[in-house]
Amino acid sequence: MPYAIANTQTGIGRQAKIYNENGHFSVQLHSTVVYDEDRTNNKLTLNNGGWVTPTTTRYMNQALAYRGSSNRVAIRKGAMVLLCTKSECPFEGDKLVIELI
């Protein structure tokens, strides 16, 4: 799935609020934190907040790319999935929580 990199310093679209403090990086789109990386607790949470849209997917993908991940989020049959190496990891409800190594 192609994804657009925004013309910003981070490559993340201008509608987002970006927080990067003390090992915690997050991207907020409107009122939803769509990407939340907590290196202190080794967790990455992707949250669509119920918005299964191309815009939400694009912002998640921009954050993943900015943070150096080759994984991408896509919409499959009306639900979001994370495209892992050779499989798809479905969201549970609105969220997908991944343990970081």
Q: Which pLDDT tens digit goes with each residue over 72-86?
A: 999 999 999 988 766
Which residues does residue 46 pair with via DSSP β-bridges, in sequence order? Answer: 35, 96
| Winning range, highest mean pLDDT, from 12-16, 29-33, 38-42, 96-100 | 29-33
Q: Confidence band (pLDDT; 50, 70, 90) for 1?
A: very low
Is the pTM for the entire model greater than 0.75?
A: yes
- Residue 33 to residues 27, 65, 87, Cα–Cα distance (Å): 6, 17, 25
The number of beta carbons lying within 10 Å of the beta carbon of residue 86 is 5
Helix (H) or strand (E) holding 21: strand 16-21
- Least Cα distance to 60 among 98, 12, 25 occurs for 12
The token pair that represents 17 in the structure block:
């609020």
